[in-house]
Amino acid sequence: MPDHVVSSNAEETAEFMQSSAATAVRYAIDSRVSRFTVRAFASGVLSAFGHNPTIAIRNYSGEVQLSAGQPETASLRITIKASGLSVVDDISDKDRREIERQMQEEVLESASYPEIVYECSTVSANKTGDGQYAAVLKGDLTLHGVTRSQAVPAKVSVNGDMLRTFGDFSLHQTEYNIKLVSALGGALKVKDELKLSFDMVARKQA
């Protein structure tokens, strides 16, 4: 291929990327109205009673950058405070405190690994309606000091100054060097797989 054609293509690509960056709109995630949960699956005695712990992720922040009509150029970063995870099941206060203590000290080891971070700058998306997309985010999740690739399927809608995204995905604790533990005297044992669900609202920033 002639040098001038290669040069021209490179220049066009650079101009497109610069144009996308210049027109990207910033959206900040509003954790007050968003929902982010983790579902663990139990084995052991309590599994017969359908006791699969649900954990709420409460303390987090994040930002989406998106150019109008160009979802494939979107980027996302979410930072979660590990200490902000809490059990939301209808259990006794004593059991709740014990499960949360064990989660913080033995599972997440939040004193040593205080943050959980997801970063994504690669998105594939199909338009499903006006301002609506079916997307797959391909990013890196850093959890318990380990960083691994993590794909996240999501539905995304953009309406005026508000962006909403929802979906769910699974991960395995052992892939992040997290040891599987039992709680409540061994009556509750948590399986390796966790299911994370989210319904997030982000608002346009000036």
Closest CA to 56 of 173, 201, 199: 199
Domains, the chain, ranges and CATH?
Answer: 25-204 (2.40.128.110)
pLDDT at 6: 46
Strand 85-87, strand 54-57: pairing: antiparallel
Q: What is the overall mean pLDDT for the chain? A: 86
Is residue 43 predicted with pLDDT exceeding 80?
no
Yes or no: say if 149 and 119 are a contact pair by the CB < 8 Å rule. Answer: no
86-140 residue pLDDT tens: 999 888 888 888 889 989 999 999 999 999 999 998 999 999 999 999 999 999 9
**pTM: predicted TM-score of the whole model, two decimal places:** 0.83
pLDDT at 50: 46
170-202 residue pLDDT tens: 999 999 999 888 765 666 678 899 999 999 999
pLDDT at 129: 94
pLDDT at 98: 85
Closest CA to 85 of 102, 104, 98, 106: 104
